[in-house]
Amino acid sequence: MLDLRQIRDNTQAVQALLNQRGDYNLQPLLELDLQQRELEKQRSQLQSRGNEIGKLVGQKMRVGTNPDSGEIQLLRSEGNEIKTALSQLEPKEKEIKAQIEILLLTLPNLPSENTPLGKNEEQNVEVRRWGEEYIPSFKLAMPHWEVGEAMGILNFERSAKVAQSRFVTLIGAAAALERALINFMLKRHIQSGYVEVIPPFLINSTSLTGTGQLPKFAEESFKCSHDDLWLTPTAEVPVTNLYRDEILESPQLPIRHCAYTPCFRREAGSYGRDTRGLIRLHQFNKVELVKFVHPDTSELEHQSLVQDAEGILQALKLPYRVLELCTGDLGFSAARCYDLEVWLPSAGKYREISSCSNFKDFQSRRANIRFKEPTKKGTQFVHTLNGSGLAIGRTMAAILENYQDSHGIVRIPEVLQPELGREIL
């Protein structure tokens, strides 16, 4: 959530940054803010006069003034009028505050000063590539879903019978590979200083609002019909909200968590795209990295987060590239973001496998996560960051394609062989 005071005091600068992200008009918000502050001023004046009247009546009563005297009756009458006015004023002010809150929740984060300018994904900036020597030199025989179905380890048809399309059942070696990848990623991240958590997989609306999925992306998530609970779209949501409405001590920072969760997404805006395979499913597994950091170290922590995600791809010897997203392609809550894209031979291009974002104080302001320093008065909002470390299904797809030989045999990445106890899938 953006700071209303910042919007009020630096309207032109904030509007210019929002214009880099799309069509957003601050004028309705500013008009409501003006109305609310005027009502607040009126309420404050009325309350002050009401308190003054109460003191005057008390003083006159103490010096023996008759309670039924016209003087006291006039004061009491004015006091009753003030109470009536306040009873009418306070609901109006409350309603306007609610409207302001709704508008603030619909505004995206402001892009970082370091975020490259651009209108869409075509203007994202490639930062680096890694592992081009590992790209298969021969023409790929089959895409990953055909490989998996031919081996009998991926089944989409029976999954549609159990649920619907865009689900998969992992069988035998694929199920073992999925578990091995989850364990491998978690172990690597724990060694890098992350503390593992297993959060709830069902989350409430307040949690989704805190990280920015609600209200804008309600149609992307699955909601339970009889409870205020949703299936988690990513571990970012429950892990970030573990600290909602808390004040941390600065020595606690940075807090770094890694978490495995299943993820559930409707993918409402992706019909017709990636309808085959493991790239865009309604249910998938993911290992997520989440950080709570001091604002002064935010940028450095962001770079190290990207490196931690890259480390998994490098250990698996999967070729990838790093893109920095431009202002027009940033996610709703992000101020700055790097995408890691793994090479998929069947598509002949790189595909996203991790998105590493710095939200600065956008999420912490929504979720009210603050910290205080021993030498300073008051509190500050922490900066939150997160990134996939990695999406398991997409990693499996990349292995099935990049580790497939010219005969269609799929080898297992060397680092996973001890976990699986074999060299060939």
Segment 320-345, tens digit of pLDDT? 999 999 999 999 999 999 999 999 99
Interacting residues of 346 by C-beta distance below 8 A, sequence separation 6+: 140, 142, 143, 144, 401
Q: What is the pLDDT of residues 359-415, one digit of tens each?
A: 999 999 999 999 999 989 999 999 999 999 999 999 999 999 999 988 878 999 999
Q: State how many domains the chain has.
A: 2
Residues 188 and 242 in one domain: yes
Whether residue 3 has pLDDT greater than 90: yes
Within this chain, do residues 53 and 170 fall inside the same structural domain, yes or no?
A: no
Do the beta carbons of residue 208 and residue 237 sit within 8 Å? yes
Residues 221 and 282 in one domain: yes
Let me know if residue 116 belongs to a domain: no
* 338: number of Cβ within 10 Å: 24
At 247-295, the pLDDT tens digits run 999 999 999 999 999 999 997 655 556 778 999 999 999 999 999 999 9
Residue 336 shares a structural domain with residue 378: yes
Say how far apart CA 313 and CA 307 lie, in whole Å: 10
Residue 62 CA to residue 101 CA, distance in Å, equals 46
Q: What range does the domain containing 89 cover? A: 25-105
Q: How many CB atoms lie within 10 A of CB 131?
A: 17
Tokens coding 106? 């619909």
User: pLDDT > 70: what percent of the chain?
Assistant: 98
Q: Is 230 helix (H, G, I), strand (E, B) or coil?
A: strand
Domain boundary among 105, 135, 163: 105
Four-residue CA torsion sign, 46, 49, 54, 57: negative
Question: Quick check: is 78 in a domain?
Answer: yes
Q: Are residues 79 and 203 in the same domain?
A: no
Write out the catalytic residue numbers: 265, 280, 352, 355, 394
Q: Are both 186 and 277 inside the same structural domain?
A: yes
Mark whether 299 and 245 lie in a shared domain. yes
The set of residues, in sequence order, having a beta carbon less than 8 Å from that of 294 and lying 6+ positions away, is: 250, 253, 254, 371, 382, 383
Task: Convert the pLDDT of each residue in 158-177 to its tens digit.
Answer: 999 999 999 999 999 999 99
Written as one letter, the residue type at 11 is: T
Report the CATH number that the domain containing residue 259 is assigned in CATH: 3.30.930.10
Assign residue 48 the CATH number of its domain.
1.10.287
- For residue 269, the model assigns a pLDDT of 56
Q: Report the candidate in 260, 134, 98, 149 with the shortest Cα–Cα distance to residue 194.
A: 260
Do 174 and 249 share a structural domain? yes
Residue 49 lies in a domain: yes
Reported as type and span, the H/E element at residue 372 is strand 370-372
Give residue for tokens 């297993």. Answer: 198
In this structure, are 143 and 55 located in the same domain?
A: no
Q: Is residue 413 part of a domain?
A: yes
Residue 58 shares a structural domain with residue 141? no
Q: Is residue 81 included in any domain, yes or no?
A: yes
Report yes or no on 14 lying in a domain.
Answer: no
Q: How many CB atoms lie within 10 A of CB 95?
A: 13
Same-domain check for residues 126 and 203: yes
Residue with tokens 């991240």: 189
Contact 386, 287 (CB under 8 A): no
Q: Does some domain include residue 20?
A: no
Same domain? For 56 and 187 the reply is: no
Torsion, CA 122, CA 123, CA 127, CA 129, rounded to 10: 10
**Mean pLDDT for the stretch of residues 137-147:** 84
Q: What tokens does 221 get?
A: 């998530």
Q: Which residues contact 364 (CB under 8 A, 6 or more apart)?
A: 292, 370, 381, 382, 383, 384
Query: pTM for the whole thing?
Result: 0.92
With respect to residue 12, please indicate whether it lies within any of the assigned structural domains: no
pLDDT computed for residue 271 by the predictor: 56
